[in-house]
Structure 1
Amino acid sequence: MSQKRSDNVWIFLLAVVIPNAGGWVGSSLWQDKSWFEALEHPVWRPPNWLFPVVWTIMYTLMGVGSYYVWKHGEGLSKRWLPLAIYCVQLLVNWFWTPLFFIWQLILVALVWLVILWILVVITIIAFYRVKKSCAFFLFPYILWITIATALNTNYYILNPTA
C-alpha cells in the first residue's frame, strides 16, 4: 500500500471516529436520567434505544462526507472553509446534549437546535460546492435534526416549567 493511500485510510478513520467520539462523550456525561423520565413525553417520541443507533449512523455519515470534502476539495474555499463550517456545526451539535439533559434547559436547547439546523444547512451548501456527493451524506442528518427540533419543541410545550 502506498504512503498516500495509507494516509487516506487514517484520515478517513479520524473523520468517522471524531464525530462519534464527541457524541459518545456527550451521552456518557448524562448520568441522572430521572429528570428526563419524569417529563411528560410526546406520544410520537421514538423509543430510547433508537437514539444511539441513529446518532451513530448520522455521525458516521457526517464523517464520511467531511472526508470526501477533504479528499476532493482544494484550497481555502473548497476544503478548509467547508471543513471549518463543519467543525463549528459539530461543536454546536455536541453541546445540545448537556443543554437539554444535564442542565435541563429545554427552551435554550430548542433555540440551540434551530441554530444547529441553520448551521447544518450552511454546511450542506458548503459541501455541495465542493462536490454534490459530499452534501448527500448530510441529508439524513438535516432530516434527523428537523425531527429532533420538533421533538424538543413538544417537550417544551408539554413541560413549560421544567
Structure 2
Amino acid sequence: MWIPIAVAAGGAVLLGVVGGLMTPIGPWYRDLRKPRLQPPNWLFGPAWTIILGLAAWSAVIAWNAATDDATRTRVIILFAVNALFHLLWSPLFFRARRPDWALIEVVFLWASLVALVLGLWPISHSASLLILPYLLWVSFAAWLNSAIVRLNRPFT
C-alpha cells in the first residue's frame, strides 16, 4: 500500500528537484525576448509542484487500479517515458541554451503526456484526468518555447 505512494512521491520530488537544478535563471535567460503572456518566474515552481503532485497521485491510482502485472508494467512504462522526456527539456533550453532544440524535444514530452492520458484511461479514468493539467501546462510551455525561439533566433 505505501510502496506505490513512496515511489510516486519520490519520483515527483526527484523530477522537481532535478528540473529546478537544470533551470538556472541567469542573465542569458533574463535577456531573452519573451512573449507578453510569459508568466512571472516565481509561478513556475508552484505550478510544477502542483502538476508533479497530481501526476504522482495519478500514478498511485493507476497502479492500484491495475488488475494484473502486464497492466502495472504498462503504467510504469508510460510514466518512465514521460519522466525521461520531462528531464530532457530543461538541460536543452537552459544549460545548452538551445530553445530551438528544446522546442523539438517538447513535442516528445507532449506526446508522452497524450500517451499517458490515453493509456491510463482504460485503467482508471481518474488517473487519466489527473494528467490533464500537466498536458495543458506543457501545451502552454510549448507555445512559450516556440515564441521565444521566434523572437530570439538564431541560436548557436
Same fold (TM over 0.5): yes
CA contact (8 A) 2:62 2:123 kept: yes
**TM superposition shift of 1:27:** 1.5
**Counterpart selection for 2:68 from 51, 75, 78:** 75
**TM superposition shift of 1:77:** 4.1
- Give the whole-Å Cα distance in 1 for the aligned partners of 2:148 and 2:24: 20
> What is the letter of the counterpart of residue 120 of structure 1?
L
**TM superposition shift of 1:38:** 1.1
Unaligned runs of 5+ in 1: 1-7
Which deviates the most, 152-161 or 81-90? Answer: 81-90
**Counterpart selection for 2:56 from 54, 63, 88:** 63
Q: Percent identity?
A: 27
**TM superposition shift of 1:114:** 1.0
TM-score (norm: length of structure 2): 0.92
The Cα RMSD (Å) is: 1.4
- Give the whole-Å Cα distance in 1 for the aligned partners of 2:23 and 2:134: 22
**TM superposition shift of 1:23:** 2.2
Partner of 1:152: 145
- Change beyond 3 A, Cα 1:142–1:32: closer
**TM superposition shift of 1:143:** 0.5
- Give the whole-Å Cα distance in 1 for the aligned partners of 2:28 and 2:112: 29
Which consecutive segments of 4 or more residues in structure 1 shift more than 3 A? Answer: 29-32
CA contact (8 A) 1:99 1:106 kept: yes
CA contact (8 A) 1:19 1:90 kept: no
**Counterpart selection for 1:49 from 20, 39, 42:** 42
TM-score (norm: length of structure 1): 0.89
Unaligned runs of 5+ in 2: none
